[in-house]
Amino acid sequence: MKRAIYPGSFDPITNGHLDIIERAASMSAHLTVAILVNPQKKGLFSFEERKRLIEESTRHLDNIEVICFSGLLAEYCRQNNMEIIIRGLRAISDYEYEIQMAQMNKKLYPQVDTVFLMTNPSYAYLSSSLVKEVAQFGGCVGDLVPAVAYQQLKEKLKGRI
């Protein structure tokens, strides 16, 4: 089996992310969940907090590694012999962006392939940004994120959830 990487900001990890992680882990010998520095997104959680939340949410999986990194994904894949990039797709609007990224990664590192996993329809509307926005205004998000992430959201947004 091949080594795969699932990159994202995971701020925070959602049940949609967890679904993709579980499915990708079942398809690969080793899955690296990579928390990427995205300068276009301001994070609610630190990278260390995100890493811990993912590790705690995926304890039931024995072939997962969680890392934080910045730089080009293709270069990380080259340096670490990654063969597959996993990306989740919720809607056609995701596809337009993701296909560009997949093609660029293939150009930069021809040995890597991107595999798109369709999001479970239950999570098709779900994003970390939406979870944070709803939580900041006191909306119920407890069923949208793993329990450990919900507890951390409540702490970060004291009195709002």
29 known ligand binder: no
Closest residue by Cα to residue 124 from 98, 86, 89 = 89
Judge whether 64 and 26 are in contact, CB under 8 Å: no
In this prediction, residue 54 carries a pLDDT of: 98
pLDDT at 159 over 80: no
Torsion-angle region of 40 (φ positive above 0: left; ψ -120 to 50: alpha; else: beta): alpha
Q: Output the CA angle 31-131-58, nearest 5 degrees.
A: 25
What is this structure's pTM? 0.93
126 known ligand binder: yes
Least confident of 21-25, 41-45, 149-153: 41-45
Amino acid 77 reads C
150 known ligand binder: no
E strand or H helix that includes residue 100: helix 92-108
pLDDT tens per residue across span 79-112: 999 999 999 999 888 899 999 999 999 999 999 9
Catalytic amino acids?
17, 41, 90, 128
pLDDT tens per residue across span 37-66: 867 767 899 999 999 999 999 999 999 999
160 known ligand binder: no
In this prediction, residue 33 carries a pLDDT of: 98
Burial 127-151 (b: 16+ CB within 10 A, else e): ebeebbeebeeeeebeebbbebbbe
